[in-house]
Amino acid sequence: MTSIDRDSPVPIYHQLKLLIREQIESGVWRPGDRIPTEQELCRAYDISRSPVRQALSELAHEGVLIRRPGLGTFVSGDGADSAVTGEPLKMMSSDPYWSPVLERVSQAWNEEHPEQPISFQMEVVSHRRFYNLLTTAVGNGTAPDVAMVDVVWVAGLASSGFLYPLEELDSRWNHTAFREDLYSVFVAANSLDGRLYGLPVKADASLLWYRKEWFAREGMSPPQDWESLLAACDHFSQPAVRERYGHSHPLAFPGGPAGGEATVYNLMPLIWSLGGRIFHPETGAVVLDGPETRRAMAFLRDLVTEHRAAPPEVVTYRWDAAPRLLAEGKAAMALGGSYESDVIRDAGGWGREEFHAQVGCVAPPALPGGRAVSTVGGISYVVLRQCRRPRLVMEVLQAAVAPEVVGDLYRAMLQNLPRTSFESLLDPESDPLLTRAARMIAAGRARPAVPEYVKISRQLQAMFEAVIADDAPVEEIVARTADFIGAISERPCDHQ
């Protein structure tokens, strides 16, 4: 292989990884040599930073490369076959940007425990296929030691017996103090039958991204409710405005199963802003089929079919399509999440300061007179029952969620730690996104932490797609979805 083949089914990052290995094995780059920088690799192969980062991160975790902050990335002194030093902890994740955090954690652990060094060996897989790949690995007896999972999956994995309850792994850990420092939604989302199974490591909130300079040039404020959202969409739909900025549609968002969990994450605030819910908080009955959901879905359909604010093709968008369209100047706004800052910066080619200058965010627009409610989500570490050294892993992971260990790195990466103590590290002037996201997280709503959530989510994704793409009455689509969710969860369905 001598170049990147964009028509190949092999991911670009993996092709680059093979190319770098070939350069090392053929002697072009020898042990101790510094390889080209990320920017130089991007230019050489005409690819974005995301696949470059992922390829370099995986090669570093495999011991092929060594990263030296401020100096560059070097071929390992023992050559391409060099083994990773220390106890290897196998991890599965869908986040290609998370390697710097793991490097920081392993460095902190190894400095404090030189007699028992560790290293992370991370397998990065597609977010869309992650849940199936993880459960298949468990069934095959090849599960990793630890996985970074969407918080809504914790209850299901725990109920299947795949996970260790964290209290079993370290009796010296102050669980009570840790729980009190978590945002309340993360305690419930990571627990089953009162026991904590997930260690929250990343918090995020759904929001509306917007091109800050475009809005300033047009003399407009970012939308605060549905009426102002429609007004902004109408304005940016004008031919003269489209010609000025070169965008195709004012708004972008994932709208169907192709977007996976991102579709539910981004569109549930339409329902929540009206007070709608999936389950009744006290009786547990399915209450999705109510006037709030029907009204929200009618608005979603009109947004696409009547106002043409977004194209019908949103039902085919993958989870990262909307933030990329925003960064590439093909949309003025995008419904998304605070976790997408890396995707936007990568697609726009922006550093931290330029990102803040180009992109702003507000809470998801609410119904006039209603209240904006963000979806609160995040990622948790879970320790698999097949883990070879579960107590060691638990001790290491405690450093991974400690603000004093990773807080400054989170700020640099524009990511929120799901602990209230993290807020004391934030400066509203230099950390505008993180400060706003922290407020949205504190006041937001989590998706239901129930064992059947994965199946429920698929029904919600299908509902959003049908509302946008089908001609069936909204009332019929919502009622059918509620019945399916009732059957899946074995709960009564209350049609209102």
Tell whether 345 and 482 lie within a shared domain.
Answer: yes
Residue 66: its pLDDT value, please?
81
pLDDT for residue 135? 92
Cβ neighbours of residue 476 under 8 Å, at least 6 residues apart?
none
Instruction: Report the DSSP pairing between strands 146-150 and 87-93.
Output: parallel
The partner residues of 493 in beta bridges, in order of sequence, read: 286
Give the CATH number, domain containing residue 47. Answer: 1.10.10.10
Q: Per the domain annotation, does 383 fall within a domain?
A: no
Please give the pLDDT value at position 83: 40
Given 83, 113, 137, the domain boundary residue is 83
**Which of 29, 58, 83 is the C-terminal boundary of a domain?**
83
Q: Are residues 209 and 75 part of one domain?
A: no
- Exposed, middle or buried by CB within 10 Å (0-12, 13-18, 19+), for 236? buried
- In the chain, the amino acid numbered 341 is S
Give pLDDT, residue 175.
82
Amino acid at 324: R
Indicate whether 103 pLDDT > 80. yes
Among 83, 116, 131, the domain-final residue is 83
Q: How many domains does the chain have?
A: 2
The C-alpha torsion from 282 through 287 and 292 to 294, rounded to 10°, is 170
Confidence of residue 84 (pLDDT cuts 50, 70, 90): very low
| Distance of alpha carbon 13 from alpha carbon 295, whole angstroms | 43
Any domain includes 271:
yes
Mean pLDDT of the chain: 90
pLDDT of residue 30: 86
> Tokens 């807080």 — which residue?
407
In a domain, 290, yes or no: yes
Q: Is 22 helix (H, G, I), strand (E, B) or coil?
A: helix
The residue ranking higher by pLDDT, 486 or 13, is 486
| Contact predicate 384/243, CB 8 Å | no
Domain hosting 462: range is: 204-376+438-489
Strands (E), 95-229: 118-124, 146-150, 191-192, 195-196, 199-211
Q: How confident is the model at residue 9 (pLDDT cuts 50, 70, 90)?
A: low
Q: How much is the pLDDT for 85?
A: 56
- Region 428-441: mean pLDDT is 93
Question: Would you state the pLDDT for residue 70?
Answer: 55
Q: What confidence tier does 429 reach under pLDDT thresholds 50, 70, 90?
A: very high
Structure confidence at residue 71 (pLDDT): 65
- Secondary structure (DSSP) of 439-472: HHHHH-EEPP--TTHHHHHHHHHHHHHHHHH--S
Percent of the chain with pLDDT over 90: 67
In a domain, 365, yes or no: yes
For residue 120, being part of any structural domain is answered with no
Tell me whether residue 463 is in a domain.
yes
Residue 239 lies in a domain: yes
User: What tens digit of pLDDT does each residue of 283-293 get?
Assistant: 999 999 999 99
Q: How far apart are CA 14 and CA 124, in angstroms?
A: 10
Lowest mean pLDDT among 9-23, 107-121, 260-274, 392-406: 9-23
Q: Are residues 79 and 213 in the same domain?
A: no
**Rounded mean pLDDT of 72-93?**
70
- Host H or E run for residue 99: helix 99-112
CATH of the domain at 305: 3.40.190.10
* pLDDT score of 63: 75
Residue listed under structure tokens 């904590």? 196
* Predicted confidence (pLDDT) at residue 297 exceeds the cutoff of 80: yes
In a domain, 424, yes or no: no
Contacts of 255 (CB under 8 A, 6+ apart): 263, 267, 304, 310, 314, 315, 317, 464, 465, 468
Q: Is the pLDDT of residue 280 over 90?
A: yes
Which range of 9-23, 122-136, 176-190, 297-311 scores highest in mean pLDDT? It is 297-311
What is the pLDDT at residue 395?
93
Are residues 343 and 484 both part of a single domain? yes
β 331-337/359-362 pair status: unpaired
Cα 363 to Cα 438: distance, rounded to the nearest angstrom: 11
Q: What is the pLDDT of residue 64?
A: 85
Is it the case that residue 80 has pLDDT exceeding 50? no
Residue 33: which region, alpha, beta or left (left: phi > 0; alpha: psi -120 to 50)? beta
Looking at residue 46, its pLDDT comes to: 87
C-alpha span between 354 and 312 (Å, rounded): 31
Residue 14 has pLDDT above 70, yes or no: yes
Which of the residue ranges 50-59, 270-279, 469-478 would you say has the lowest mean pLDDT? Answer: 50-59
